A and B are shown apart, each in its own frame.
Chain A
Amino acid sequence: ETGVTQSPTHLIKTRGQQVTLRCSSQSGHNTVSWYQQALGQGPQFIFQYYREEENGRGNFPPRFSGLQFPNYSSELNVNALELDDSALYLCASSSIAGSYNEQFFGPGTRLTVL
């Protein structure tokens, strides 16, 4: 069974640029959630995708957007990067079945905005 993978591992961008982060979900999972973890903070929920549609969103501006593909992999896109977007971006996959669905986290992508 393959776990959650994310690419790239590290990324450096400058203010105003756009970035795309990728996540491959664990085998058999149909839901992907994205979290932002700023330095010294806990992860914050950005949004969740289920069956290729956004299925919940946290308090993040529209320049944070996402996609989920038919194979349940996902992308996180951030436009007009700001310095405060520097963070570890985590994705987590799960399978909607019943009232509890454990989320399995990937290793994250470290984004630095200069």
Chain B
Amino acid sequence: AQSVTQLDSQVPVFEEAPVELRCNYSSSVSVYLFWYVQYPNQGLQLLLKYLSGSTLVKGINGFEAEFNKSQTSFHLRKPSVHISDTAEYFCAVSANSGNTPLVFGKGTRLSVIA
């Protein structure tokens, strides 16, 4: 079984400042890793994913994440945030075999302050 811990429930940050949202996972098997964004009253949108290969993954809207197997982490970063980045961010994991379900963390609320 897999589990995900998002270490911060809320992260306030000023506009144009950098941000890091932290995610740690636990799994007894190899995994795929994901970050999703959820805007108010909307579903989930995939920001980026790690399947294999390069540990630095670039996604949409200027976000990137780094897979660190030894620390079982997959932190999300953006060098300069915008007001429009205000949303809930979810880290998720799935076993890398077949069509396995996603296991989500509890989410991090990113609030960008003007």
A42 and B43 in contact, given A94-B99, A101-B99 (Cβ under 8 angstroms): no
Q: Is the CB of B106 within 8 A of A103?
A: no
User: From residue A47, how far is it (CB to closest CB) to chain B in Å?
Assistant: 9
Distance between Cα atoms of A101 and B102 in the complex (Å): 11
Question: Which residues of the partner chain B approach A55 to less than 8 Å between Cβ atoms?
Answer: 99
Interface size on B, residues (CB 8 A): 25
Q: Is the CB of A50 within 8 A of B99?
A: yes
Q: Is the CB of B106 within 8 A of A33?
A: no
Q: Does A7 contact B (CB under 8 A)?
A: no
Question: Which residues of the partner chain B approach A8 to less than 8 Å between Cβ atoms?
Answer: none
Distance between Cα atoms of A45 and B44 in the complex (Å): 14
Interface size on A, residues (CB 8 A): 28
Q: Does A2 contact B (CB under 8 A)?
A: no
State the B residues within 8 Å of A (CB): 4, 32, 36, 41-46, 49, 51, 90, 92, 96-107
State the A residues within 8 Å of B (CB): 4, 31, 33, 35, 40-45, 48, 50, 55-56, 58, 90, 92, 94, 96, 99-103, 105-108
The 5 tightest CB contacts between A and B, nearest first, are A42-B104, A45-B101, A105-B43, A105-B44, A107-B43
